[in-house]
Amino acid sequence: ELKVEQNPLFLSMQEGKNYTIYCNYSTTSDRLYWYRQDPGKSLESLFVLLSNGAVKQEGRLMASLDTKARLSTLHITAAVHDLSATYFCAVDVNYGGSQGNLIFGKGTKLSVKP
Amino acid sequence: NAGVTQTPKFRVLKTGQSMTLLCAQDMNHEYMYWYRQDPGMGLRLIHYSVGEGTTAKGEVPDGYNVSRLKKQNFLLGLESAAPSQTSVYFCASGSGGRGANVLTFGAGSRLTVL
């Protein structure tokens, strides 16, 4: 059974600080996704990581994937208030009878304070 | 370009009533999903489909049925609603296949069961 765990679930940061969100998953997969959700809104895609060692960066956010450790990280550099949101990682299964199964972590609620 | 459209956006039901949530996508995506989102639980996969005429169970399928008679539509049914099904429901679609399965989400449907 595919399980996806994120930590921390809540993160309160000061502007200008750095932090990392971790995403662990339980089964073999080389496809990992990060999404952002603003309060009361739907989810938007941030990053797609498709191979071991993949690294993607967008502004103050950088995501990486280690498929051997079954671990992805989302690193926040010099946080600003606009980054306040809930961040989800998701993993899907692209083989066998479970093809298409796409599971989300519980999300990390990030609050950036001045 | 509408993307993913969910109807209705809000609904209040009494225990034991039935209803159907409709999801429509205009991106010619093969894969479609229904998730529910509850506080502290992230997004949990209810059912998904990897193509027209196919459906599969996700993490929390009990109490729900789905149908994918047309490629562009994915229906979620509640035969006998229970208060535990009070939630925000999100439909999503993705291209699936060997490449990235980035999901496009609908705006969500808020269901309250009294």
Alpha-carbon dihedral sign for residues B22, B99, B50, B84: negative
To test the contact with chain A by mutation, choose from B5, B29, B102, B109 the residue with the greatest count of A C-beta atoms within 10 A, namely: B102
> In which band, very low, low, confident or very high, does the pLDDT at A78 lie, cut at 50, 70 and 90?
very high
pLDDT digits (tens, 9 = 90+) for A55-71: 999 999 999 999 999 99
Is A14 near chain B, with CB under 8 Å? no
| Model confidence pLDDT, tens digit, residues B11-36 | 999 999 999 999 999 999 999 999 99
Q: Chain A residue closest to B106 (CA)? A: A42
Q: Are the beta carbons of A4 and A91 closer than 8 angstroms?
A: yes
What is the side-by-side strand order in the sheet with B65-67? B4-7, B19-25, B73-78, B65-67
CB contact under 8 A, A102 and B98: no
What percentage of chain B has pLDDT greater than the value 70? 99
CB B103 to CB A99 under 8 A? no
Q: For residue B1, what pLDDT band results from cuts at 50, 70 and 90? A: low
User: Do A106 and B103 count as a contact with CB atoms less than 8 A apart?
Assistant: no
Contact state of B90 with A43 under an 8 Å Cβ cutoff: yes
**For all residues of chain B together, what is the average pLDDT?**
95
**CB-nearest partner of B102 from A6, A48, A103:** A48
Closest CA to A109 of B102, B41, B89, B110: B41
B60 and B79 in contact (C-beta within 8 Å)? no
CA distance A10 to chain B (A): 10
CA distances from B8 to A39, A41, B21, B68, B87 (A): 20, 16, 7, 18, 13
- pLDDT tens digits along A7-38: 999 999 999 999 999 999 998 877 899 999 99
Is the pLDDT confidence value at A96 over 90? no
B29-60 tens-digit pLDDT: 999 999 999 988 899 999 999 999 999 999 99
More confident residue, B101 or B75: B75
Q: What is the DSSP letter of B99?
A: S
Q: A75 near A55, Cβ under 8 Å?
A: no
pLDDT value, residue A99: 78
Contact A48 B100 (CB under 8 A): yes
Looking at residue B100, its pLDDT comes to 85
3-class DSSP state of A1: coil
